[in-house]
Amino acid sequence: MSRVADADCFFGGREELLSPDDSMNACFTAFDKDRDNRLSVVEFGGLCRALFRNDAGKPYLLEARKLAEMFSVFDKNEDGYIDREEFKMCWSKWIKTVVRPVSAFVIVDVQNDFISGSLAVCNCSAQHKGEEVVPVINEALDTIKFDVVAYSMDWHPNNHLSFVTNVAKYPMHPSSKVKAADAKLYDKVVYDGDPVKEQILWPPHCIQDSWGAELHPDLKIVDNALWIKKGYDPEIDSYSAFFDNAKISDTGLSRQLRQRGVTDVFVCGIATDVCVGATAIHSLEEGFRTIIMDDACRGVSAEDIETLKQDIMRNSGVIVATSQVKSMVQGRDRRPELGYKLALMLRDARPC
């Protein structure tokens, strides 16, 4: 690309963009409108307008505050400009990831007990039909080339403390408003221990090696997938595919995704406001750009689902329909929220 290249079109050709260093220099030059060998905030804004577009080429709106924050990440000497040396990090750590993400598709707990068994979401207040996620997920697996696919499964022993039938087996903390003798299904209790554990009481579900713990028989299983079994410690629950509820132990998922260079985690499954939501929150905390595939999820409570979505978006996660995912995986639909999230991670990781 020459010095007179049209900056607005610079990020259209992904393969051309991410070749050798001359592409980095061409990118810098394309947005250095006044040719002073540095990018001002205004010129960086032009870069961002070209970078953050949907797959039809329409720019996304970007808040001025977030633009300024992202600019400050790369203006390391704080002189109000990004020079060519500073732009090297902007190019290698930020632009390359935005344009060419590495994706993981994390399919959470699409198990029989959550669909038609003892804890079927159709019997919960939102009255969702869990089986409806299966064809949506299968279509995504058939049509989208994810770099990594992972399946998580609840995998409880019979004596798990989350089962209402076991409530008398575990000592209550004095702060628990519900006592063991009075505890009912879906009550919230507080168990004693280190740490103290707040626990919703569920019916027995997803017991190891049972029919209820099996994935739905129609769910597509791909080769070379990662398998995450969680909740096998009887003394603590594990909603997330990353950690138990107290973040004492991890499942190894984060490490395996990092080993594969994953930048973007797409999450779906059952239930939106419980295990899917906990997985997405931990994904954000672990530094992955995180996307919930809304139509590939079903949940328990409509109110809690909405609360979860607001939490995810407040933390620079994104909620999308599955039909939008392919272009995001291919780097053609580039969301400013995810770019902002990545910039903040680079800021926080940068040595003082």
**Could you tell me if residue 348 is inside a domain?**
no
- Residue 109 placed within a domain: yes
Task: Note whether 273 and 143 are same-domain residues.
Answer: yes
Do 86 and 111 lie in one domain? The reply is: no
- Over residues 69-77, the mean pLDDT reads 97
Mean pLDDT of the chain: 94
Confidence of residue 43 (pLDDT cuts 50, 70, 90): very high
- Residue 349 banded pLDDT, cuts 50, 70, 90: confident
Of 52, 45, 93, which Cα lies nearest the Cα of 349?
93
pLDDT of res. 13:
53
Residue 124 annotated as catalytic: no
Q: What is the CA radius of gyration of the chain?
A: 23
Residues 179, 222 share a domain:
no
- The active-site residue out of 197, 230, 309, 341 is 230
Of all residues in the chain, the percent with pLDDT exceeding 90 is: 91
The C-alpha atoms of residue 205 and residue 300 are separated, in whole angstroms, by 15
Looking at 59-133, which runs of residues are DSSP E strands? 82-83, 103-108
pLDDT at 9 exceeding the cut of 90: no
Write the pLDDT tens digit of every residue in 266-301. Answer: 999 999 999 999 999 999 999 999 999 999 999 999
pLDDT of residue 352: 41
Report which secondary-structure segment, H or E, holds 24: helix 21-31
Q: What confidence score (pLDDT) does residue 296 get?
A: 98
User: Mean per-residue pLDDT for 57-69?
Assistant: 95
Please say which residue of 76, 99, 122 terminates a domain.
99
Residue 55 lies in a domain: yes
Does any domain span residue 338? no
Give the tens place of pLDDT for each residue, 90-136.
Answer: 999 999 999 999 999 999 999 999 999 999 999 999 999 999 999 99
Catalytic residue among 109, 113, 237, 244: 109
- Higher pLDDT, residue 234 or 6: 234
Residue 151's SS3 state is strand
Phi, psi (5° rounding) for residue 13? -100, 95
pLDDT tens digits for range 148-157? 999 999 999 9
Place of tokens 């797959």: 55
Cα 68 to Cα 59: distance, rounded to the nearest angstrom: 18
**Predicted structure pTM score:** 0.94
Q: How far is CA 206 from CA 108, 115, 155, 198, 218, in A?
A: 13, 11, 6, 20, 17
DSSP letter, residue 10: G
Closest to 234 measured CA to CA, from 208, 262, 266, 267 = 208
150 and 277: one domain? Answer: yes
pLDDT grade for 67, boundaries at 50, 70 and 90: very high
Q: Is residue 36 among the annotated active site residues? A: no
Residue with tokens 């990662």: 226
Query: Is 337 a member of any domain?
Result: no
Q: How confident is the model at residue 2 (pLDDT cuts 50, 70, 90)?
A: very low
Confidence of residue 11 (pLDDT cuts 50, 70, 90): confident
Spatial separation of the C-alpha atoms in residues 299 and 108, rounded to whole Å: 12
Q: Which helix (H) or strand (E) holds 137?
A: helix 133-143
CA distances from 92 to 45, 96, 321 (A): 18, 6, 29
Mean pLDDT, rounded, for 43-70: 95
Whether residue 247 lies in the annotated active site:
no
At 60 the pLDDT is 96
* 183 and 151 in a common domain: no
Closest CA to 102 of 260, 250, 222, 321: 260
Output DSSP code: residue 173.
P
Across the chain, the runs of DSSP E, i.e. the strands, are: 38-39, 82-83, 103-108, 148-154, 188-191, 197-200, 226-230, 264-270, 289-298, 318-320
Count of domains forming the chain: 3
Range of the domain at 296: 103-156+205-330
Domain annotation covers residue 265: yes
**Max CA-CA distance within the chain?**
77
Q: Report pLDDT for 3.
A: 41
pLDDT for the residue numbered 86? 97
Q: Do 173 and 108 lie in a common domain?
A: no
Is 111 within a domain? yes
| CATH number assigned to the domain comprising residue 263 | 3.40.50.850
Together in a domain, 191 and 240? no
Same domain, 117 and 54: no
Q: What is the pLDDT of residue 66?
A: 97
Residue of 275, 297, 304, 333 with catalytic role: 275
Mean pLDDT value of segment 8-17: 58
Q: What's the CATH number where 25 sits?
A: 1.10.238.10
Residues 224 and 296 in one domain: yes
Q: How far apart are CA 136 and CA 220, in angstroms?
A: 11
Residue 16: pLDDT above 70? no
State pLDDT tens for residues 165-218: 999 999 999 999 999 999 999 999 999 999 999 999 999 999 999 999 999 999
Residue 15 pLDDT > 90: no
What pLDDT, on a 0 to 100 scale, did the predictor assign at position 22?
77
Length, in residues, of the chain: 352
